[in-house]
Amino acid sequence: MKTVTVGELASLVVGEVYGDSGAVISDGQSIDRAERQHVTFAQHAKTVRKLADCNAGCILLGRDADTSNAASWKAAAYVLVDEPMTAFLQILAVLRPARRRTAEGVSPQAEISPTASIGPETVVHPRATICEDVQIGRNCEIFPGVHIGPGCRIGDDVILRPNVVLYHDVLVGHRVTIDAGAVIGSVGYGFRLKSGRHERIPHFGTVRIEDDVEIGACATIDRAMIGETVIGAGSKIDNLVLIAHNCELGKHNLMAGQVGLAGSVTTGNYVVCAGQAGIADHARLGTGSIIGSQAGVTKAVPPGETYLGSPAIPVADVRRFFSVRTKLPDALRTIRTMAAEIEELKRQVATLAGARSDRLQPVDGPAEAGHYEPERAA
């Protein structure tokens, strides 16, 4: 692992050094775990408050950070920068450089159809399978165990990690990364009941993944029944996400782990679905909408709205519900008290009505039926 001085790091990120510029840094770490050999960063005011107990060799701070207590900090030095997290990532790229490719070209242990086309600088590892009529662009990397079905089209700078499966005729854009075990283009979950049996509906469509998409490990994206299942440019799909047939995602969507989209869901651009959210078939998520963790969406979500809960409702309604929820036990006790008082009042009314009836007597002599007068005093 590489080592650098605080002064060298400050030059790299165009920062101002305060403290020991000669302190040697060999790695990065979080504020809570940083030691003398580490660089760390404080992005927010609440993390700046932790610096009194931080023993790091270097701390990256925003230029507007509160350094009034810097004299009490234990760190060897701190560096003021425009954006601490960005600077931290720059430094980590130096301290932990990316591993270089150890393989070149096409392995003779890969199984490749003679009708497949593979671009220059593309690496195909052993035990990969590339079927007939496949086209792969330049500078791609196809890891062991990958299966690329017939007719697939793959752009430039694509990475398919171990055991990725692309079914036939899948379209993949440029600069796409698909992590281990993901399955793209499997038959969608569609059946019809015929003569008492579930009969699978054939799926004749495909999947189109646009440029700069990242798909996590063991995610599954089903092919369309007809037409395309589309993953919009720049979208990031987390591990274990299911995107069903005929879904069409807009650009720059974020889908966190275990999100499930049923068939024919459509989304606008910059939509966020947090972990384990479920979206019912044919729902529309508007541009910029946010779906909270474990939310269950059954209808359209307007652009820019945040929905939570199951069934999902606007966040403002959820906040009102939670503000009332803490008062529910008291409200229940009040309701029970009121119910008991009402029963007591009904009992008293019935008693008074009975007493009044006993005091009513028939008039002496002939009288019309049903005519009564109060009993006269003796």
* Per-residue model confidence as pLDDT tens digits over 71-93: 889 999 999 999 999 999 999 99
Active site residue 245: yes
Confidence (pLDDT) at 374: 54
Whether the CB-CB separation of 266 and 248 falls below 8 Å is answered with yes
Ranking 76-80, 95-99, 221-225, 283-287 by mean pLDDT, the lowest is 95-99
Among candidate residues 203, 245, 252, 282, the one labeled active-site is 245
Ranking 149-163, 178-192, 325-339, 355-369 by mean pLDDT, the lowest is 355-369
**Rounded to an integer, what is the distance from CA 236 to the centroid of its chain?**
9
List the CATH number of the domain containing 85.
3.40.1390.10
Q: How confident is the model at residue 363 (pLDDT cuts 50, 70, 90)?
A: low
Confidence (pLDDT) at 305: 97
Q: How far apart, in Å, do the first and last CA atoms of the chain sit?
A: 117
Which residue range is the domain that position 347 belongs to? 331-374
Bond preceding residue 311 cis, omega within 30 of 0: yes
15: pLDDT strictly greater than 80:
yes
Confidence (pLDDT) at 85: 95
141: pLDDT strictly greater than 50:
yes
d(CA 41, CA 28): 9
Confidence (pLDDT) at 375: 53
Q: Are 86 and 115 contained in the same domain?
A: no
Q: How confident is the model at residue 327 (pLDDT cuts 50, 70, 90)?
A: confident
Classify residue 101: in a domain, yes or no: no
Q: Are 268 and 210 contained in the same domain?
A: yes
Q: Are 45 and 131 contained in the same domain?
A: no
Q: Would you give the DSSP letter of residue 255?
A: E
Closest alpha carbon to 23 in 39, 2, 12:
39
365: pLDDT strictly greater than 70:
no
Whether the CB-CB separation of 331 and 312 falls below 8 Å is answered with no
pTM of the model: 0.82
Give the Cβ contact number of residue 367 at 10 Å: 11
Confidence (pLDDT) at 102: 77
**Rounded to an integer, what is the distance from CA 209 to the centroid of its chain?**
19
Q: Are 204 and 338 contained in the same domain?
A: no
Q: What does the pLDDT average to over 178-207?
A: 96
369: pLDDT strictly greater than 60:
no
Q: Which of 320, 350, 366 is the last residue of a domain?
A: 320
Classify residue 11: in a domain, yes or no: yes
* Per-residue model confidence as pLDDT tens digits over 230-282: 999 999 999 999 999 999 999 999 999 999 999 999 999 999 999 999 999 99
Q: How confident is the model at residue 378 (pLDDT cuts 50, 70, 90)?
A: very low
* Residue 10, phi then psi, degrees to nearest 5: -60, -40
Closest alpha carbon to 154 in 111, 101, 117:
117
Domain count of the fold of the chain: 3
Helix (H) or strand (E) holding 172: strand 171-172
Confidence (pLDDT) at 104: 86
Q: Are 143 and 242 contained in the same domain?
A: yes
In terms of Cβ atoms closer than 10 Å to its own Cβ (0-12, 13-18, 19+), residue 214 is: middle
Confidence (pLDDT) at 202: 93
Confidence (pLDDT) at 353: 84
Q: Are 16 and 52 contained in the same domain?
A: yes
Helix (H) or strand (E) holding 319: helix 315-325
Q: Are 287 and 355 contained in the same domain?
A: no
List the CATH number of the domain containing 287.
2.160.10.10
Structural Rg of the chain based on CA atoms:
35
Helix (H) or strand (E) holding 316: helix 315-325
Q: Are 267 and 118 contained in the same domain?
A: yes
